[in-house]
Amino acid sequence: MAQLGSGRCQMHEVNEQRSRRYNECARPAKRPKECKLDKRAYSVPTGQQVRKPATSLYENSSESSDDEEDNVLDKSERCIEREKHRGRECQRDRQRAASPETVSSGRTGRYPDDSVREQERCAEREKHRGRECQRDRQRERCAEREKHRGRECQRDRQRASPEVVSSGRTGRYPDGSVREQERCIEREKHRGRECQRDRQRASPEVVSSGRIGRCPEGSIREQGKETAKEESEDSFDQRKPSLDGKEKKAPRNDLEDFVEQATPSLEAKGEEANEAHEDPLDQRKPSLYSKGKKTTKKGSEASQEHKEKKGFANGQKYKLKEIEDDMFNLKSMKMNLKEFEALDVYACKIPVKSSVDKLVHELLQYASSDLEKVRVLWIWICCHIEYDVKGYHNKDLKSSESTDVMKSGKAVCAGYSGLFCQMCSIAGIECTEIEGYSKGYNYDVGKKFKGDADHSWNAVFLEGKWHFLDSTWGAGHVNETCTKFTYKYVEFYFFTHPTLFINNHFPMEEKWQLISPRISLKIFENMLFRTGDFYDLGLAYIHPDVQVVSTVNGRVIINIECTYPTLFMYSLDDKKDCAMMTLTKYGMKLEVLPDKTKDHKLKIYAKLWNAEDEAYSFVCAYLVKCDTIDESFKLPKAFHNPLGPSWLTESKGLLQPSHTEPLIYCDNGQCTVRFMLVKDLSFTSKLSCEEVNLSDEVMRNHVFKTQQGNWVEFKIQLPQSGLYVFTIFAKDKANPSPTHDHVCEYFISCTNQNVHWPVFPKIYTSWTEGCELIEPLTGILPQYELVKFKLKIPHVRKVQVYGKTACPLNMTKDGYWEGSCNTQDSKHLNVGVSDKMFDTKFTFALQYEVEDT
């Protein structure tokens, strides 16, 4: 009986706990106020329907629907009903297991013979119900967290919406920062991952194992690691499309050791094998990697290291740090270019042999697969064979025999493809030569193809498919007159995807297009001419995608999208002042305005922003047909592209521009350009116009700079109508050099013929950073008039305006110096400042001119 009494006390405590749970579940769920929930439901293990927050960046609704509120209330009611049902079951179980009458009579529910076992079953059922309640509460907490995240998402979308950004109201990021939208997207992704982890924690399997929410044993940390690992694998799979081919193994350590340790022996072998070709061969070998692993001639180590860096910069080679992932989209077989690094360096170090067989045998020493065999043969040819420019012009001087090509180190396209085909045959690789038309480096845009083929390349058969290679174009390029060859390795032409290869290679036999559907020669002729550097630099999209374009209202607009920050140049018939170029986020917009009605050749060049090489690479070309000229808008001669603010301006320390477009229209002749600063900079500026005949000093006085805190502001008053070029220069204040760098440039257009603004007051050295002028802004004051002054000059004790008499200014509560002065019988009014209270010496900060009556 004592034991039964103790059981009743325990059961009483359980009842009190149940009552508290009933009260918690009976609390109505709060109605979401700021997040509109997604109508698409996803199933959970218990059959409940939980709604995800909307993830659209353009969702503007800030209230939940009535249906959603009803669903929340219904869920709370179902929860209360389940708790009541469980409470009734618990009560029946306790009556069966604990009452003396039931135990003495042997009637213990469905288990009449064993009351002790019945109590154990009751306790187990209570534990099970407790776990169910725990899961319900966990799901409710997850739903509440999702609502909270949804409200945060809504606020982020409001900050990043185009209307808010254009108006300058972006929450904690004023003036429409470009980076705000990126931060919002990143936060939504992070919240999505948190929601996924919450749902995993609330699942029955996780709850039953004791790993829920912030439970012990580091379960959350383990789930986070597994989730992060799965996400990284998913993103990797999405980034690298599935192509035919096996997974590549990493290079063996013996090959890496050979590259690092056996260089002296290789050099000695090269000297013994071919002394006559040693010097030109070493000069021709390009560097393939930024690590600078290449064979060099004897000399000082410092000079050789400099040559290695210079060779890599000039070659531009792989750019593995920038375009490693994108290369998977350009290849016809899945491969990892970094796994070829040691093998490529080895191929470049192998000198010329007495026969092709011996050369191939040594090259294949460390190649373990067919792909590696093809790779090492390709790299050797690209590093050792240069284009025979003399043989191109004189057929009697050229030879396509493989042995002659190997020993001379020179060949035309037939020599390249013939040598590669023979080397593959020796290596046991199925290879063929293909002939056809090509758009080479000296291709004339708009050319019509006819007659015999003008180029040859190769295709190899690996893993059930044919793959294209062009070792001629992979080795380098010639100039437009084909009189000089430049070594410049182009990775793009190794196993190029057929849909990209057809852009500048048209085979004579239709079957070698390897695409479906096949294209005609006419379509090939009108396809936009892209070079291999277009893809090697990570350029992803260009519009229009045809090589012959016509002007509309006297202009043509070209848009290019990139994967990485890229700088661009252009030439229109060798002129560089016929277009407006603006840099977009990882892209470029080029607005071409020809000055003559005829056919123009437009060439576009590009280079990666952080590339060591300062040279731009030729990437594409257009034929621009101009029938009309826009007479209403003519570009000035003195301007520099790119125009307007961009990521390049941000990299120099200027953020949140007041004008995001390169062309500013101001009919009243006044405008203000403003930037937020993230660097400690000093500024100068220049205003010029071909239609205004004023000196540079006078034009400078039409711009008034104010720099306060981390903001700089340029107020501009135009002397008359016209198209002006406004250029901003800056330099780091810690830099002792007096030279300022070009940071941003605008066009300012004013068509109002009645505009005639005077200059601003002249500025002296005492007008320093932190000074602010409220009035008068005009630098020319009327005669016989009382002029009011209001300005801010920090760190001074006295301020006076000097005219015929001295007029002291008084400090106001808001930190401005205010006062009035008469212009009577004065030619100038000067604002003087003093650092000491009782000092009679003043230094000038501003000077005003008084109109001559």
Residues labelled catalytic: 413, 455, 470
Residues 711/681, Cβ–Cβ less than 8 Å: no
Q: Exposed, middle or buried: residue 243 (CB in 10 Å: 0-12, 13-18, 19+)?
A: middle
- Nearest Cα to 406, choosing from 393, 394, 423? 423
- Nearest Cα to 514, choosing from 460, 437, 475, 451? 460
In angstroms, the CA 278 to CA 275 distance is 5
696 Cβ contact list (under 8 Å, min separation 6)? 686, 688
In angstroms, the CA 649 to CA 675 distance is 10
3-state SS assignment for residue 138: helix
Spell out the SS3 assignment of 321-381. HHHCCCHHHHECCCCCHHHHHHHHHHHHHCCCCCCHHHHHHHHHHHCCCHHHHHHHHHHHH
3-state SS assignment for residue 150: helix
Other Cβ atoms within 10 Å of 1 Cβ, number: 6
3-state SS assignment for residue 623: strand
Measured between alpha carbons, how far apart are the two ends of the chain, in Å?
121
DSSP assignment, residue 491?
Answer: G
- Nearest Cα to 590, choosing from 637, 551, 557? 557
Distances (CA, A) of 28 to 19, 71, 73, 77: 16, 12, 7, 8
In angstroms, the CA 29 to CA 142 distance is 13
Backbone φ and ψ of 716, nearest 5° = -125, 130
DSSP assignment, residue 767?
Answer: S
3-state SS assignment for residue 655: strand
Residues 690/693/698/701 CA torsion (nearest 10 deg): -40
Backbone φ and ψ of 588, nearest 5° = -155, 145
Q: What angle do CA 336, 414, 465 make, to 5 degrees?
A: 40
